[in-house]
Amino acid sequence: MSDAHKTLSAIQALMIKDLEETSDDQLRTELLEDGQDPEILDREIAESLDSVVAEFLRDRVAATKAVKKAVQTPTTPNRPVLSKIKEVVQRAFETEPSLSTAYRKGSKQSDNDWVSIYDDLLLLGKIDPEKKYD
């Protein structure tokens, strides 16, 4: 750590200690003596904090979107026909007992459900994407 950095750190520590030891009434009096309106200063600080928090949240949302976009499930344009998808999915569940799924609204999967399960099993590595199906 450089001498300048040590000096700045020491000054910051002293300022924080001084602020902690100063009562609210003393701070208010000092502000008024310096010609500052505490209510206006309070509002400006609140607006500044709101701005910082909003920017942080926007950055966080943008970063989250970027991560989601990077890890999105790739589309599988070369899926087999639906009857083969059902067969492959059923085979995967038979050969790996730890796999399970829940049914929505009854006991029959829709065609979209089968395709979704197929894609999920591909993503999990439970189905070989290189295997060609008739």
pTM of the model: 0.41
**What separation in angstroms does the CA of 130 have from each of 76, 80, 93, 98, 120?**
12, 12, 19, 23, 15
Say which amino acid occupies 21: E
18 three-state secondary structure = helix
How confident is the model at residue 133, as a pLDDT? Answer: 59
Which parts of the chain have pLDDT scores under 50? none
How confident is the model at residue 108, as a pLDDT? Answer: 76
Return the closest-CA partner of residue 73 out of 34, 30, 121: 121
Report d(CA 82, CA 117) in Å as an integer: 12
How confident is the model at residue 46, as a pLDDT? Answer: 93
User: Any idea where the domains of the chain sit in the sequence?
Assistant: 3-70, 82-124
How confident is the model at residue 23, as a pLDDT? Answer: 92
Say which amino acid occupies 7: T
How confident is the model at residue 105, as a pLDDT? Answer: 65
